[in-house]
Amino acid sequence: MVTNTCHLALPGRLLLWTLRHWARAMNARRDLPGFVRMTLERMPGHAPLEEAIGQLFASMNMGARRPLRLGTPERHGLTRDEQAILAALLAARLQLSEEARMSLAELQSATGLRTSVRACERLAALFRDNGWQMMPTHERAYLATSNRQATASDRLTGSLASPSQAHPARM
């Protein structure tokens, strides 16, 4: 299970960084910062990228069982919610829809889950079509161990984020 951003490939880190900035902007009732948009514009296939990330963030927030816990953009560690979102995106990138749904099921209400999985699959298709990887190597092996370890480690450690290291993304 990935617990630190250094274990992600550059596109995976960019995605997480963008989600965290979106959460910060939303909590402050502001737009996504211009420097984040400029960074996304420099990625090949950027036109639908910002929209797809925005749809994922919106669907995750609207269908959430509770406020999502996302770390600050500067933080290296991943919260439990971020791990679930990344696992779902990775599963969707590998075209494993059921695994993507299972990864998001704990975070989403029954009605929100369907919309979030669709948004996840759309963003994952952009990653797949552009050849962007979430992990530097062994994506399929990570996914196999991620779902097994999440249940056991969550029982032992609980959430990986403390209130000072993560903030809820509120509507």
pLDDT at 164 > cutoff 60:
no
Report the share of the chain in percent with pLDDT over 90. 63
d(C-alpha 19, C-alpha 9), whole Å: 16
Phi and psi torsions of 70, nearest 5°: -120, 140
| Both structure tokens of 5 | 């951003």
* Residue 118 pLDDT grade (very low, low, confident, very high; cuts 50, 70, 90): very high
Q: What is the 3-state secondary structure (H, E, C) of the chain?
A: CCCEHHHCCHHHHHHHHHHHHHHHHHHCCCCCCHHHHHHHHCCCCHHHHHHHHHHHHHHHHHCECCCEEEECCCCCECCHHHHHHHHHHHHHHCCCHHHHHHHHHCCECHHHHHHHHHHHHHHHHHHHHHCCCCCCCCHHHHHHHHHHHHHHHHHHHCCCCCCCCEEEECC
Higher pLDDT, 151 or 87: 87
Q: Which residue has the tokens 């059921």?
A: 98
* Residue 114: pLDDT over 50: yes
Q: Which distant-in-sequence residues (6+ apart) come within 8 Å of 87 by Cβ?
A: 99, 103, 143, 146, 147, 150
Mean pLDDT of the chain: 83
